[in-house]
Every structure is written in structure tokens, then in C-alpha cells.
Structure 1
């Protein structure tokens, strides 16, 4: 299948590692012109240099000035943004009964505020041109809250609700808005969560990982490039009638439709 996104301008947030990098590489492989973002300028530059047609745009999404800088970098290098992939770091593990007002605010600041700001900058142009793709990298916690990740569950649910509402508002303008929900994908983030759980429970990391794999019908953690391919499809031309959905890429882990 041809995804027909050659030459499209794709801004991929937090793409210097993990699922963001996998997504940037998948889009670049389909001919998109990619803006690589991350907090470390050296990593952003190295990954951009390794892609066929890409530029680095370092910056911390929690810095209020970053969204505008990212869009300006994209427009100066390639033109208006056609594809926006929302992504960011996850908050520290923690229980819901241990959250305080500052923690609630931090969850929204991490998962919703910068994403909304970026959307406000690129959506008008997408709607005017009659073509746009927005894909957010979420979490399976959106459909089944994850134990010990209360802040992540709260923030990602808020983003999911916002995007679902937005999808209906912009669909007639040729803009699709979707989320992709990873399960256990073999990234540094998941490795860190496994180590934290092993420490909490007095087990080895290998025991924690084995138990997780046994709970996944596919019997293994996913590969980052498998996830990147799913995002790339939702950002494609053939996916023009898919919007307002949350696609799980989890090996069958979550036991709901």
C-alpha cells in the first residue's frame, strides 16, 4: 500500500528516542519531511542527519516558548506542517491516593497544555488547505488505567477527551485526529518502569518482564518500529476516513474491544 505522504511536512514531538523516534523514522521512510524534536540538541541533530529529509528542532515541550519555535522551524525549513505527532515524556510512577493538587496540575501541564498550544498553531493551516493529520502517542491507560501510573492515567485521559472532541470539529475540513495506544513496547521508558516495579516488589527485572510477557497474548513486548508503522498509517492518505479513534498497538494486552 502506498501511504502517499511523500513531501508532507511532519513535526514529531519528543522524537529523539523511543516511540517518537520510531515514528519519525517510519514517516521519513514513507517520504515525509520530518522535524525531529527533543530536549537534547545533539540527539535531535544526529537523528535528523540519519534521516533522508529532516531537520532538528531541539526544545523542551514544557517550555511555553517551545511550541511556537517548533512550528517556526518547520515552516522555515519545509513549509506548513501537514502531520503533527503529539508525544512527550511520561510522569513518574505514583498512586492515585498520593496525588495532590500540584500533581494534578503537573499531569495536565505535561499531557495537555503543550499539545493544545501546538494544535492551535497548525490546525488553521491544515483546515484551510483541506488536509491534515494529527496523531497522539498515548497509552493503554486511556482504556484501562494502569496501576501505579496515576498521573499518566489522568493526563492522558484528559488529552484523549480533548482530541476526541476536536476530531468531530475538524473532520469536515479534511483533518483527522487520532491516538495510538502502546502496550508494552520495548523502549527505555518501559525498561525504567520494569526496573521501578522490580524494586517495589522485591523481584528481579527479568521476573517482572517475564510476568508482563505472559500477560500479553502475543507473548512478547512489541518492537518500536511496529508501533511507528501504525502511527504512519494513521497519518497517511488512505487513512482519510479514520478519525476520532484510539488504536491500540499492544499485542492483545488490553481485554476490551
Structure 2
């Protein structure tokens, strides 16, 4: 299948990490020119190097998403270097494990500032040129916790859920402009984030981390953690011309983990 992404410009946030890096590599493999954005220039450069060594096109942008004043400058630089953004992949880091109750208001504000507001503001920045061209993709990675809240991930469950409502509303507003807006939900994908969460649970429960991981994989119908590449391939399909009629949707990439319909 020709996904018709050759020459499209994709901006991938958090592209130095496990999920973001996989998304960036898969988009590049289909011919997209990828703006690799990450707080860590070293991690971002590692993704860029992997893409260029495989024959793709990518450029690294060191970017602190919590600094909203950086958005216009960064996007303007990407437009100058690669061209207007056709595909925006909103992928932000998550907050630490916490209960939902008893959290200081400053913690809520801190993570709203770094996880929610930048996604909205950045999308608003790239939408006008998508509308001019009559084509665009906005894909926002959240968490399975927005459907089935995950114990001890109170901040993440709550703040990421706000992006689901935002994305669905956006899909209706921009659909006639040839722009789609979708949410993707990772289940337990084998990244550093999942390793960290398993380690934190093992520490809280005073158990070997191997037992926690075994218990976790046993709860997944396919009996394994997902591969980052599997996640990246799904996002790449949603970015393609073949997915033009998919919008306002929440796509689960979870091996059947989420128990609800």
C-alpha cells in the first residue's frame, strides 16, 4: 500500500523517546521529512541519526514544550528548514505516579502547562497552513488511562483525558478542511516509561520487578508488551492518505489490554 507520505513534513514531539522515536522512524521510512523535537538534544539527535543512516530525512530541534513562548520560533524554523508542517504528532512526557487526591495545585498547574497547553497551542500554530493546503493530520498520543483509569496515575489519567475531548471537538471543526484529528492510546509498550512504572510498582509493593512484569504481561490478551515499532506503524497509517476517513477517533494500540468495549 502506498501511504503517499513522500515529501510530507512531520513534526514529532518527544521524538527522542521510545514511542516518539519509533513514530519518527516509521514516518521517515515512508518518505516523510521529520522534525525531531525533544527536550534532550542528545536523545533527539540519536533518532535523527537513525533516520538519516537509513536513508531518510530528519532534523533535530531541542524544545522545551512547557515554554509556550518557544512555539512560534520553533515552528518558523521548521518551516524554513523543511517546509510547512503537514503531520503533527503530539507526544508529551507523563507525570510521576501519584494518587489523584491530595496533590498540590501547583503540581496540577505544572503538568497542565507541560502536557496539555503546549499541545493545544502548537496545533493552533500549524492549523492555518494545513487549512490553506487542504490537508493535515493531528495525531495525539495519550494513555490507556483515559478510558480505564490506571491506579496511582491520577495526574496522567485526568490531564490526558482533557486532550481526548479537545481532539474530538477539533475533528468536527477542521474535517471539511481535509484535516483529521485522532487520539492514539498505547497499552503497555516496551519503552523506558513502562520499565520505570514497573520498577516503581515493585518498589511500592516490595516485590521483585520481574514478578511485576510477569503479572503485567499475563493481564494482556496477547501475553506480551507491545513493540515500539508496532505503535509507530499505526500512527504512520493514521497520518497517511489511506486514513483520510478516520477522524475524531480514539485508536487503541494495546494488545487487547483495555477491558471495556
Normalization by structure 1: what TM-score? 0.97
Equivalence for 1:163: 167
Q: Give CA deviations for 1:126-147 in whole Å, capped at 9, x if unaligned.
A: 1111000010111001111111
Query: Quick check: 2:142–2:160 contact (8 Å CA) kept in 1?
Result: yes
Query: Quick check: 1:187–1:224 contact (8 Å CA) kept in 2?
Result: yes
Q: Give CA deviations for 1:104-128 in whole Å, capped at 9, x if unaligned.
A: 2223212210011101110011111
Query: Quick check: 1:57–1:73 contact (8 Å CA) kept in 2?
Result: no
Equivalence for 1:34: 34
Question: Residue 198 in 1 paired to residue 195 in 2?
Answer: no
Q: Which runs of 5+ in 2 are unaligned?
A: none
Q: Which portions of structure 1, spanning 4 or more consecutive aligned residues, are displaced by more than 3 angstroms? A: none
Query: Quick check: 2:16–2:45 contact (8 Å CA) kept in 1?
Result: no
**Which secondary structure state, in structure 1, belongs to the residue aligned with residue 242 of structure 2?**
coil
Which among 236, 240, 257 is matched to residue 236 of structure 1?
A: 240
Q: How many residues align?
A: 257
**Which secondary structure state, in structure 2, belongs to the residue aligned with residue 97 of structure 1?**
coil
Which among 65, 72, 75 is matched to residue 68 of structure 1?
A: 72
Query: Quick check: 1:39–1:58 contact (8 Å CA) kept in 2?
Result: yes
Q: Which runs of 5+ in 1 are unaligned?
A: none
Which among 133, 136, 146 is matched to residue 137 of structure 2?
A: 133
Q: Give CA deviations for 1:127-185 in whole Å, capped at 9, x if unaligned.
A: 11100001011100111111100000111001111111111100011000001100000
Q: Give CA deviations for 1:202-242 in whole Å, capped at 9, x if unaligned.
A: 11110000000010000000000000001001100010000
Equivalence for 1:50: 50
Q: Give CA deviations for 1:58-107 in whole Å, capped at 9, x if unaligned.
A: 11111223322331221011110000000111001100122232222223
Query: Quick check: 1:9–1:74 contact (8 Å CA) kept in 2?
Result: no
Q: 2: distance between equivalents of 1:187 and 1:235?
A: 22
Query: Quick check: 2:182–2:249 contact (8 Å CA) kept in 1?
Result: yes
Q: 2: distance between equivalents of 1:72 and 1:125?
A: 12
